[in-house]
Amino acid sequence: MKVIRITPRGYCYGVVDAIQLAKTIGKDPNVPKPVYVLGQIVHNRHAVDSLEQFGVVNLDGPDRLTLLEQIDHGTVIFTAHGVSPAVKARAVARGLHCVDATCPDVTRTHDLVKNLAAQGYQIVYIGKKGHPEPEGAIGEAPDAVHLVSTLEDVEQLVLLAGPVAITTQTTLSKWDTEAVIRRLGERFPGAEVYNEICMATQQRQEAAVAQSVDADVVIVVGDVRSNNSNRLVQVVQELAHKPAYLVDSVNDIDASWLDGCERVAVTAGSSTPSELTRAVIRHLEEI
């Protein structure tokens, strides 16, 4: 069986920097201890667990403000997904040492939202409900930003008077957002579109679609909570029309997926540690 290694795949620079920063902070004797990460540093439990040996404690829960109430001293690291100004202010008010690992691409979206809101725009943010990234970006201008995920959300949307801008979460797929943006344009003619899907996400999705054309089956290595990993499965299924499966590690591979398969393609979400993907490739090559 031939194994096609889809490229690029795996860690993006935002994830690499966030994990490296957390390790450095954990080891630094001059940083107030304990060191907490507010939420999963990236959406991968293996990456999260690997920080324990550096003395970094990951807190997990429904929202960042509630998580903060569990900490009354030490250092708090904000994750690559970004946090709202209210979370930053609360962390400072609780006397915590704050370290910001927000990806620069997410910060750019926060700045965009802030600037548009200051100019009086109503902002429609296309994103995943319950994901920390929209939570942080919306927190920049809660009165001006409206979160939508589906076409049904668009139909129910009520905006105040004023110019309208549309923007997106960084880890969606451009194909995913097309229909929602089109419908928003019909409902709010003249709305300005700011596509904030990051380059790393876009490149991984485009490569997955293009390079899986010759494959019988596609394996995506990633955590079930990772939005960009789930989008990789979706774009392969919907655009390359190939069966695609998300696996957390080599242990999740179901042998029946490979029945009669001559070519299997492998890719990985931008929060997936490379060693997990290497183990999957090794296993497939041994078959």
Q: Which residues are catalytic?
A: 133
Distance, CA of 65 to CA of 219 (rounded, Å): 36
Strand 75-78 to 56-59 pairing: unpaired
Q: How far is the CB of 49 from ligand SF4 (least distance, A)?
A: 19
Q: How far is the CB of 251 from ligand SF4 (least distance, A)?
A: 25
Q: Do residues 143 and 118 make contact, with C-beta atoms less than 8 angstroms apart?
A: no
Which amino acid is present at 101?
A: A
Within 13 Å and on the Cβ side, how many CA atoms surround 249?
8
Residue closer to ligand SF4, measured from CB, 64 or 253:
64
**3-class DSSP state of 112:** helix
* Sign of the CA dihedral with 191 first, then 117, 130, and 235 last: positive
Residue closer to ligand SF4, measured from CB, 171 or 277:
171
Q: Does 200 bind ligand SF4 (CB under 6 A)?
A: yes
Q: Does 269 bind ligand SF4 (CB under 6 A)?
A: no
Residue closer to ligand SF4, measured from CB, 109 or 122:
109
Q: Does 105 bind ligand SF4 (CB under 6 A)?
A: yes
**Residue labelled with tokens 């955590």:** 223
Residue closer to ligand SF4, measured from CB, 51 or 191:
51
Distance, CA of 86 to CA of 63 (rounded, Å): 12
Q: Which of 198, 215, 219, 276 binds ligand SF4 (CB under 6 A)?
A: 198
**Strand pairing partners for 122?**
164
Site residues (CB under 6 A) for ligand SF4, limited to 9-38: 12-15
Q: Which of 58, 79, 149, 171 binds ligand SF4 (CB under 6 A)?
A: 171
Kindly state the DSSP code that residue 286 receives in the 8-state scheme: H
Chain positions contacting ligand SF4, by CB under 6 A: 12-15, 80, 103, 105-106, 170-171, 198, 200-201, 228, 270
